[in-house]
Structure 1
Amino acid sequence: MEPLKKIIIKDYPYRQEYISYLDIQWGLVVTTIKSHDREINHFIEFIKDEFSLESFIPGDIKASHIRRYLAYLKNHRENGPSTRNSKLATIRSYYKFLEENEYLEEDNNPTLFIRKAKVSRPLPVFLSLEEAQDLLKASVKNTRWPERDHAVLRFFLQTGCRAGELVKIELDHIDLEEKYVRLLGKGNEERIVPLTPNTIEALKDYLAVRDFSPRGKNHLFLGARGDPITYLGLNKLFKEACRKAGILKPNLTLHKLRHTCLTLLLKEGVDLCTLKELAGHQTIRTTVVYTHVTQKEIREAVKKLPLD
């Protein structure tokens, strides 16, 4: 089959209900919901085209249809295993929605028979303590809103939160007197994260100059026009701070600030169970990956032992 052209989002079975499900039940941000919507649309258009179907009926789809789609992603789109697994997870979310709302007969979920592709998990990329400090210093240099940029980056580095969690923080989610923030994680799971004195100071400096216009409503961090800050806005200020700090590490993304926080805490002796709760990981297996970084450094240190 020829690679599909750019997909124009079309309607598909229970689309609006699925979008509401992702918003209300899973608590996903708008950009993630749009991504899921596009992926389901792409999957359905492929199935209809590949198997010459006039319409898409979820209950008629078999595991073999999904495997054909995954093979197309691998061989024609050259998607790696992580990307294919992500798209499979989206398809699973759609069928889970159908099951929970009884739009699919019991035991008729084709995604249950699909295994994820094996992925070699790379060591997390993170900043050293010195690089993190340089980044914070750079955040206040020649920027339109130094108080906000500094508060955002310090907040990321101190709390280890996800970008999707930060954009959802509202003013009443922080308590500067009691020194904590309430974060809404995946599936709207709430967790309380303490704030350090330096982070509180940075937030106070930002709030002193924050525009309390109605456009920003109750969101803590705002964009340049007074609207709630977006992931694109966060990424832009992060990249600019990295450039000013002279940090040019490969594969360095905004999410790596989360890795930096957790890795630096691990190096300071914080136990895995505490890290798991701070990070909002569902299982400790996700947290364990950060120990590999420490083990690598230990091996490198042992090699320096001056013995013949």
Structure 2
Amino acid sequence: MSKEGETNNLVKSEANVPAISNPGQELSEVDHGQKVSGVLAQIFSAAGELSGPNTPASALVPWVSDVLQSDHSFRAYGHDLADFVEHMKRLGVSPLAVTADHVRLYKGAMLKAGLRPTTVARRLSVLRGAYRQFAEKGLVPWKVAQDLSTVKAPQVAKNTTPSLTREQAVALLEAVPTDTLQGLRDLAILQTFFITGCRVSAVINACVGHLEFDGVEHFLHVTEKRNKRARKILLDAARPVLRYVQEAGLGEDLEGPLFRPLSPDGLGFERRPMNRKTPWRLVKKYCRMAGISPDRLGGRGIGVHSLRKTAITDAIR
């Protein structure tokens, strides 16, 4: 069991936070606020007596709807918030009666349960933001929000993501077979991560129609964190991406996902976005095939973040 897995009551199962949308998909603009409102209301319903138009849930909806645009980000936020509300419920403390000392006790409980410092720091950040919103809406005194901001997060090691050397990056890409559709797709997506430095969600949510050629260079239009749109030059990733699109017969399906999962028969691709966990599995798979250990004792292993951190500017193939 991983260190995150033995935290028992401190970590809630996915069943305790309502499903927001299909995995890997962005929340639609139309129902985003409504879904945010419903999920937050369910989280705070654990506190029991909180009702009426001016509630912790309603206080957070505008800010959360504006800042957390993706399903993945909102789901993580919801789990962190739900865990804290449930922990306070077991202590008999209402969310609006929380003090800095309660948060310090919660921090200690998380560390004792074995949560990583990065996880504890993230959850404390969630609470600081939530209670600032409560203070702005008049639900708690500003002094409470200010006191909560003094709770120190555990020290987190900086820049823990391992990068690859250029030689390792070349070996990883050369381990990908290019005589199958799956291999062509895998090479294309790995090169895209290397060249663009994009997040997983930005790449797997890109459509075929987001590819652009200006007569000189090829680009991929992506939507990054906080719904920021970016135009990423593909450079040497253009060749494998275009070959994959051509061989897979995706060129006319402009509104369809660019990177797709294989069909059950392995002869083509399903018309849906790739699961966000697939790129991570691909990195580890081809690392092992290239003789590179993707795991690292006591730290983060090699994954998509490593590709984003590794700069490749020369032609690979």
Q: Same fold (TM over 0.5)?
A: yes
Q: Would you say 1:192 and 2:199 are equivalent positions?
A: no
* Letter matched to residue 288 of structure 2: R
* Letter matched to residue 160 of structure 1: G
Of 170-179 and 237-246, more deviation after overlay is shown by 170-179
Aligned pair partner of 2:16 in 5, 9, 12: 9
Contact 2:207/2:254, CA 8 A, preserved across alignment: no
Aligned partners of 2:63, 2:70: CA distance in 1, in Å? 12
Q: Would you say 1:81 and 2:121 are equivalent positions?
A: no
Q: Would you say 1:205 and 2:239 are equivalent positions?
A: no
Structure 1 alignment gaps of length 5 or more: 269-308
* Letter matched to residue 132 of structure 1: A
- Please give the TM-score of this superposition, normalised by the length of structure 2: 0.68
Change beyond 3 A, Cα 1:98–1:140:
farther
**Percent identity over paired residues:** 20
The CA deviation at 1:30 is: 2.1
The CA deviation at 1:93 is: 4.1
Q: Deviations over 1:51-76 (max 9, x none)?
A: 224xx43x32222111111110012x
The CA deviation at 1:256 is: 0.7
Query: What SS is found at the alignment partner of 1:231?
Result: coil
Q: Would you say 1:229 and 2:274 are equivalent positions?
A: yes
Q: How does 1:65-80 map to 2 (within 5 A)?
A: 65-75=102-112, 77-80=113-116
Q: Deviations over 1:212-254 (max 9, x none)?
A: 59x9953322222331112212122222222222211432122
- Equivalent residue for 1:254? 304
The CA deviation at 1:175 is: 0.9
Query: What SS is found at the alignment partner of 2:153?
Result: coil
The CA deviation at 1:142 is: 7.2
Contact 1:19/1:37, CA 8 A, preserved across alignment: no
Query: What SS is found at the alignment partner of 2:310?
Result: helix
* Letter matched to residue 152 of structure 2: R
Q: How does 1:60-209 map to 2 (within 5 A)?
A: 60-75=97-112, 77-96=113-132, 98=134, 102=137, 104-105=139-140, 107=142, 108-109=144-145, 111-122=148-159, 124-140=161-177, 145-177=182-214, 178-196=217-235, 198-209=236-247
Change beyond 3 A, Cα 1:157–1:115:
same
Contact 1:181/1:193, CA 8 A, preserved across alignment: yes
Aligned partners of 2:254, 2:62: CA distance in 1, in Å? 23
Contact 2:181/2:247, CA 8 A, preserved across alignment: no
Q: Would you say 1:36 and 2:77 are equivalent positions?
A: yes
Aligned partners of 1:20, 1:137: CA distance in 2, in Å? 47
Contact 2:256/2:271, CA 8 A, preserved across alignment: no
Contact 1:19/1:33, CA 8 A, preserved across alignment: no
Aligned partners of 1:105, 1:5: CA distance in 2, in Å? 25
After the TM superposition, list the runs of 4 or more consecutive aligned residues in structure 1 that deviate by more than 4 angstroms.
14-22, 96-100, 141-144
Change beyond 3 A, Cα 1:203–1:212:
closer
The CA deviation at 1:201 is: 1.4
**Total equivalences in the alignment:** 255
Q: How does 1:236-247 map to 2 (within 5 A)?
A: 236-247=281-292
* Letter matched to residue 254 of structure 1: V
Aligned partners of 2:59, 2:206: CA distance in 1, in Å? 26
- Equivalent residue for 1:52? 92
Aligned partners of 2:57, 2:259: CA distance in 1, in Å? 31
Query: What SS is found at the alignment partner of 2:205?
Result: coil
- Equivalent residue for 2:37? none
Aligned partners of 1:48, 1:222: CA distance in 2, in Å? 43
Structure 2 alignment gaps of length 5 or more: 1-6, 18-41, 45-55, 263-269
Contact 1:216/1:222, CA 8 A, preserved across alignment: no
* Letter matched to residue 177 of structure 2: V
Aligned partners of 2:205, 2:133: CA distance in 1, in Å? 24
Aligned partners of 1:238, 1:104: CA distance in 2, in Å? 47
* Letter matched to residue 116 of structure 2: G
